């Protein structure tokens, strides 16, 4: 089929992530079928829940899972073996989606130091003492509290950027998937533009990149994370390292939206996409 020949998908999950039941080998087979130039498995590792629940003295609830340290080990072990097995057929990248690094920098430093890793996506899925953004009922929140939460989200992103030990910043504006998409609440996002520009400047100074996450295109939100305006802002501030990821949690979502987002990235002025080998960007020409 080779419908995505020369393109990359650098964000996907397998059954080593609590919210996916995808078989890693089937994911790799699908990536080969799509003709991807590079493909990354990036299972979740939430730094704030690296250990078991007892370590944190936390009350169990219906959505929080723990022991990501164990998932991390299992995922990397599996990807490393698949890399070897499929070395003749695909450029497989051993990655991780590292969540909430600013909530435990010791764990984050330990995780990113694992020499099996090619790629670290730095993400924020929740703020300290708050549930994951996907579990919040935004209808019960006052509008000004939503604005304050968003400000805290971008401040947390800035902390993550200043730490800077990731390769690409994951799905910036992920919060809008729920607030705008699922709850249909319109927020004036432009009030955060200065803060977002500051994040980009720090990323650029550290020679790191951002990802354009295509998952929002197949959700109610209907846009990439981040949307075009911020892709362009990153470009105009001097950003050069940009990656694409479907964030597929199922085999059938692999590569979805990659072609569309490549066009957005091109429109913003980029001539290359980047994927990572041993944390070094490799560039794929797109014009």
Q: In the numeric block, which tokens belong to residue 269?
A: 């002025």
Contact between 64 and Zn ion (CB under 5 A)?
Answer: no
Q: In the numeric block, which tokens belong to residue 211?
A: 């990802």
Residues 127-166 within binding reach of Zn ion (CB under 5 A): none
138 vs 136: CA distance, rounded Å = 6
60 vs 270: CA distance, rounded Å = 45
Least distance between Zn ion and beta carbon 88 (Å): 28
Q: Given the complex with Zn ion, which of 149 and 237 has the nearer CB atom? A: 149
50 vs 53: CA distance, rounded Å = 9
216 vs 219: CA distance, rounded Å = 5
Which range touches Zn ion (CB under 5 A), out of 19-27, 118-126, 131-139, 269-277? Answer: 118-126
Contact between 215 and Zn ion (CB under 5 A)?
Answer: no
Least distance between Zn ion and beta carbon 43 (Å): 8
Q: Given the complex with Zn ion, which of 4 and 126 has the nearer CB atom? A: 126
254 vs 141: CA distance, rounded Å = 34
Least distance between Zn ion and beta carbon 247 (Å): 4
Q: Given the complex with Zn ion, which of 97 and 253 has the nearer CB atom? A: 97
Reduced to 3 states (helix: H, G, I; strand: E, B; else coil), residue 148 is helix
DSSP letters of 27-90?
HHHHHHHHT-SEEEEEEEEEGGGSS-HHHHTPPP-SS----HHHHHHHHHHHHHHHHHHTTTT-
Q: Given the complex with Zn ion, which of 123 and 243 has the nearer CB atom? A: 123
Contact between 97 and Zn ion (CB under 5 A)?
Answer: yes
Least distance between Zn ion and beta carbon 255 (Å): 15
Q: In the numeric block, which tokens belong to residue 37?
A: 């130039």
Least distance between Zn ion and beta carbon 12 (Å): 8
Q: Given the complex with Zn ion, which of 13 and 194 has the nearer CB atom? A: 13
Q: How many binding residues for Zn ion (CB under 5 A)? A: 3
Least distance between Zn ion and beta carbon 170 (Å): 5
Residues 247-276 within binding reach of Zn ion (CB under 5 A): 247
Least distance between Zn ion and beta carbon 153 (Å): 13
Q: Given the complex with Zn ion, which of 66 and 174 has the nearer CB atom? A: 174
Contact between 123 and Zn ion (CB under 5 A)?
Answer: yes
Using CB atoms within 10 A of its CB, is residue 49 exposed (0-12), middle (13-18) or buried (19+)?
buried
List residues binding Zn ion (CB under 5 A): 97, 123, 247
């Amino acid at each position: 089929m080779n419908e995505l020949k020369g393109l990359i998908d650098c964000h996907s999950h397998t059954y080593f992530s609590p919210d996916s039941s995808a078989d890693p080998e089937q994911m790799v087979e699908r990536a080969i079928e799509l003709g991807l130039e590079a493909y990354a498995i990036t299972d979740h590792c939430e730094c704030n829940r690296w250990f078991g629940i007892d370590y944190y003295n936390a009350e169990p609830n219906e959505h929080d899972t723990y022991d990501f340290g164990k998932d991390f080990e299992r995922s990397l072990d599996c990807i490393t073996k698949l890399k070897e097995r499929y070395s003749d057929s695909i450029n497989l990248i051993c990655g991780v989606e590292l969540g909430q690094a600013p909530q435990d920098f010791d764990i984050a430093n330990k995780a990113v130091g694992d020499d099996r890793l090619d790629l670290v996506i730095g993400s924020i899925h929740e703020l300290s003492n708050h549930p994951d953004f996907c579990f919040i009922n935004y209808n019960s929140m006052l509008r000004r509290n939503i604005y304050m939460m968003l400000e805290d989200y971008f401040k947390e992103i800035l902390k993550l950027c200043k730490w800077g030990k990731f390769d690409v910043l994951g799905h910036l504006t992920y919060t809008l998937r729920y607030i705008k998409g699922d709850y249909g609440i319109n927020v004036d996002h432009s009030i955060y533009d200065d803060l977002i520009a500051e994040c980009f400047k720090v990323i650029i100074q550290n020679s790191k990149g951002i990802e354009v996450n295509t998952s929002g295109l197949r959700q109610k939100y209907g846009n990439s994370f981040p949307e075009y305006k911020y892709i362009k802002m990153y470009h105009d501030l001097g950003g050069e390292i940009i990656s694409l990821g479907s964030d597929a949690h199922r085999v059938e979502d692999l590569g979805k939206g990659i072609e569309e987002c490549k066009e957005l990235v091109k429109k913003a002025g980029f001539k290359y996409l980047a994927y990572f080998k041993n944390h070094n960007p490799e560039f794929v020409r797109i014009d």
